[in-house]
Amino acid sequence: MIKVIIFDLDGTLYQSAVIRSKFAEAAYHAIAKLKRTTVAQAQQLVEHKRAQMRSTYGDPVPYTLTLRSIGMSAEQWHTENIAYFDPRDYLEEDERLLNCLSALKKRYRLVILTNNNSVQTDRTLEALGVKHLFDRIYTYNTFKLLKPDPEFVRRAIEEMGVRPEECCFVGDRYNVDLEPARRLNMHIYEVSGPSDVYTLARDFGCD
């Protein structure tokens, strides 16, 4: 029986072209600084590397994984993107998401598990108006691990004191979000974005 629903954050609970652009800009500026090159040259390097990584991680390839492969630590990248932009400037409360998660919370424990950092994660959930609904929020800062490493997921469910088969992972990227969960014998639920999340309460019998 499912007791816990674990959600990815970016691309799953919200989608924003502006925030995608801000993450991209932050990545280009961060690599330009690291490599002591121009932003334009850094953009070429980052996007070339992302194209190479698509066969492994799917599309889009997370910037955290891309920049790490170029030589920037997750800590450096998170420091850069925290300073570069604030999601609260671009997101607003999502009433449909709030209603869906509120219904699910009556029956399940709700959890976030994201490669994002704790600062940007908190900012995003606050902007969407749903932070208070989550029992646990796992970010890179929690264990210094990144999806698709299944150890990130395994340690989270161990910390919660539940078995893998009692959890369902909801995410928008199979290779990054769902494959590691599947390998741990968890239930998985693939979405293309928040429009699919809105129907979860119905699909899980909570509406």
Burial code (b: 16+ CB inside 10 Å, e: under 16) for 152-180 equals: bbbebbeebebebebbbbbbbbebbbbbb
Same domain for 127 and 65?
no
How does pLDDT run across 43-79, given as a tens digit for each residue?
999 999 999 999 889 888 999 999 999 999 999 999 9
| Model confidence pLDDT, tens digit, residues 25-45 | 999 999 999 999 999 999 999
Output the domain CATH number for residue 125. Answer: 3.40.50.1000
Does 207 score more than 80 pLDDT?
Answer: no
Quick one: 154 and 185 in the same domain?
yes
pLDDT value of position 174: 95
Confidence of residue 137 (pLDDT cuts 50, 70, 90): very high
Q: How much is the CA Rg of the chain, to the nearest whole Å?
A: 17
Residues 30, 67: Cα–Cα separation, whole Å: 9
* For residues 95-112, average pLDDT: 97
Number of domains in the chain: 2
Both 84 and 145 in one domain: the answer is: no
pLDDT at 59: 85
Residue 13 burial class via C-beta count within 10 angstroms: exposed 0-12, middle 13-18, buried 19 and up: buried
Same domain as 181, residue 114: yes
* CA atoms of 153 and 173, how far apart (whole Å): 15
Euclidean distance between CA atoms 23 and 17, whole angstroms: 10
Same domain, 166 and 189: yes
Q: Which of 47, 72, 88 is the last residue of a domain?
A: 88
Same domain? For 104 and 185 the reply is yes
Q: Which of 72, 88, 104 is the last residue of a domain?
A: 88
The type of residue at 51 is: A
Q: Residue 58: name the closest of 189, 190, 187 by CA.
A: 190
Residue 180 near residue 164, CB atoms below 8 Å? no
Same domain, 49 and 128: no
Which of 53, 88, 123 terminates a domain? The answer is: 88
Same domain, 195 and 102: yes
Q: Do 56 and 131 lie in a common domain?
A: no
Pair of tokens at residue 141: 């800062």
For residue 36, what are the domain limits? 17-88
Mean pLDDT score of the chain: 96
Same domain, 84 and 107: no
Q: Are 141 and 178 in a shared domain? A: yes
Residues 23 and 83 in one domain: yes
